Amino acid sequence: MEDGKDKKKQAKKLRKDKEALEKAEGKLAAMMGASGVDGVPVAPTIGLGRGCKAVREFIGENYRVPCTAEGEGASLVLRVPVLEAAAAAALVDSAVDRLRRSAGAATETAPSSGAGAGVGSAGATARQSLRSFCDELYVSLAGSGSKVKVARGARDFMPDQMAARELCFTIIRNVFKRHGAVEIDTPVFELRSTLTGKYGEEGGKLIYDLADQGGELLSLRYDLTVPFARFLALHGINRLKRFHIARVYRRDNPQILKGRYREFYQCDFDVAGEYPLMMPDADVLKVACEILGDLPIGGFQIKLNHRGLLDGILDIAGVPAAKFRTICSAIDKLDKEPWENVMEEMVTEKGLSEDVARRIEAIIMQGGKPRAGSPKVLLEELVKAGTFSPHAGASRALEELGVLFEYLEAMECLDRISFDLTLARGLDYYTGVIYEAVLTSPSAVGSIAAGGRYDNLVGMFQGSGSESKQVPCVGVSIGIERVFTIMEQKMAAAKAAASDVPEISVASMGNGMEAERFRVCAQLWKAGFRAETKFTTNLKFGKALEEALDQGRRYLVFFGDSELADGTVKIKDLLEEREASVTREELTGQLIAWGAQQQSRTPIARAEEISRLAEAAEANAEGADAGAGALAVPSAEGGGD
Pick from 178-192, 239-253, 418-432, 613-627: least confident: 613-627
d(Cα 484, Cα 486) in Å, to the nearest integer?
5
Q: Which residue has the higher pLDDT, 291 or 503?
A: 291
The mean of the pLDDT values for the chain is: 75
Q: What is the mean pLDDT of residues 293-299?
A: 88
* pLDDT (mean) for 232-249: 95
Residue 185 in contact with residue 231, Cβ under 8 Å? no
Amino acid at 315: D
Closest C-alpha to 406, from 278, 313, 294, 300:
278
Residue 369's pLDDT band (boundaries 50, 70, 90)? Answer: confident
- Contact call for residues 176 and 269 (beta carbons, < 8 A): yes
* CATH number, domain 499-593: 3.40.50.800
Alpha carbons 547 and 103: distance in angstroms, whole number: 32
Residue % of the chain over a pLDDT of 70: 66
Residue 377 has pLDDT above 90, yes or no: yes
Instruction: Grade residue 126 by pLDDT with cuts at 50, 70 and 90.
Output: very low
- What's the pLDDT at 162? 87
Query: How is the chain split among helix, strand and coil, in percent rounded to 5?
Result: 50, 15, 35
Model confidence band, residue 631 (pLDDT cutoffs 50, 70, 90):
very low
Measure the CA–CA gap between 78 and 59, rounded to whole angstroms: 10
Better-predicted residue by pLDDT, 266 or 61: 266
pTM as predicted: 0.60
- Which pLDDT does position 274 carry in this prediction? 94
**Residue-level pLDDT at 267:** 95
| Residue 455, pLDDT score | 93
74: phi then psi, degrees, rounded to nearest 5: -145, 165
Q: Give CA 116 to chain center in angstroms.
A: 31
β-bridge partners, 269: 243, 476
With b for 16 or more beta-carbon neighbours within 10 A and e for fewer, the 418-445 pattern comes to: bbbbbbbbbbbbbbbbbbbbbbeeebbb
Give the pLDDT score at 47.
40
- Portions of the chain given CATH number 3.30.930.10: 157-299+472-495, 300-440
pLDDT tens readout for residues 133-186: 555 554 544 444 456 778 888 888 888 788 888 888 999 999 999 999 999 999
- How far is 44 from 88, CA to CA, in rounded Å? 12
Which amino acid, one-letter code, is at 215?
Answer: G
Instruction: Answer whether residue 338 shows pLDDT above 70.
Output: yes
Distance of alpha carbon 135 from alpha carbon 137, whole angstroms: 5
CATH 3.40.50.800 domain span(s) along the chain: 499-593
The least confident of 288-302, 395-409, 496-510 is: 496-510
What is the per-residue pLDDT for 511? 81
Asked if 254 and 209 touch (Cβ cutoff 8 Å), the reply is no
Distance CA 602, CA 582 (A): 28
> What is d(CA 621, CA 511) in angstroms, rounded to the nearest whole number?
62
d(CA 630, CA 454): 59
Average pLDDT over residues 502-510: 86
Fold of the domain spanning 157-299+472-495: BirA Bifunctional Protein; domain 2 (3.30.930)
**pLDDT higher at 144 or 246:** 246
CATH number, domain 300-440: 3.30.930.10
Which pLDDT band, with edges at 50, 70 and 90, does 265 fall under?
Answer: very high
Beta-strand relationship, 555-559 and 531-533: unpaired
pLDDT for residue 539? 76
Read out DSSP for 418-466? EEETT---S-TT--SEEEEEEESS--S---SEEEEE-SSTGGGGS-S--
Q: Is the pLDDT of residue 286 over 60?
A: yes
Would you say 155 and 165 are in contact if contact means Cβ atoms under 8 Å apart? no
Express each pLDDT in 88-108 by its tens digit.
444 444 444 444 444 444 433
Q: Determine the pLDDT at residue 31.
A: 43
Label residue 12 exposed, middle or buried (CB < 10 Å: 0-12, 13-18, 19+): middle
pLDDT for 224 equals 95
Residues 6+ apart with CB under 8 A from 122: 102, 103, 105, 106, 109
* Residue-wise pLDDT tens digits, 532-584: 888 888 777 778 888 887 777 889 999 988 898 899 999 998 877 788 999 99
Check if the beta carbon of residue 591 is closer than 8 Å to that of residue 555.
Answer: yes
CA 475 to chain centre: 21
